[in-house]
Amino acid sequence: MRNTKNLSQGFFNPRNPHKYDGNHTNIVFRSSWEMAVMKWCDLNPSVLSWSSEEIIVPYYFDVDEKWHRYFVDFKVKIRTASHGDVIYLIEVKPYDQVQRPKEAKARTQKARARYQSECEEWIKNQKKWEAATQYAQERGWKFQVLTERELFPGGKK
Predicted confidence (pLDDT) per residue in 34-93, tens digit: 999 999 999 999 999 999 999 999 999 988 999 999 999 999 999 999 989 999 999 999
* Amino acid 4: pLDDT: 39
What spatial distance separates the first Cα and last Cα of the chain, rounded to whole Å? Answer: 26
Q: What is the mean pLDDT of residues 23-40?
A: 96
* Whether the Cβ atoms of residue 27 and residue 12 lie closer than 8 Å to each other: yes
Say how far apart CA 148 and CA 156 lie, in whole Å: 8
What's the mean pLDDT when you consider all of the chain?
92
pLDDT given for residue 1 in this prediction:
36
Q: Where does residue 138 rank: exposed (0-12), middle (13-18), buried (19+ CB within 10 A)?
A: exposed
Q: Which residues of 143-155 are buried (b: 16+ CB within 10 A; e: fewer)?
A: bbbbbbeebeeee
pLDDT, mean of residues 94-106: 90
Tens of pLDDT, residues 135-151: 999 999 999 999 999 99
The pLDDT of residue 20: 98
Q: What is the CATH number of domain 10-151?
A: 3.40.1350
Percent of the chain with pLDDT over 70: 94
Q: Is residue 7 very low, low, confident or very high in pLDDT (cuts 50, 70, 90)?
A: low
3-class state of residue 155 by DSSP:
coil
Quick one: pLDDT band at residue 2, thresholds 50, 70, 90?
A: very low
Q: Where are the domains of the chain?
A: 10-151
The SS3 call for residue 8 is coil
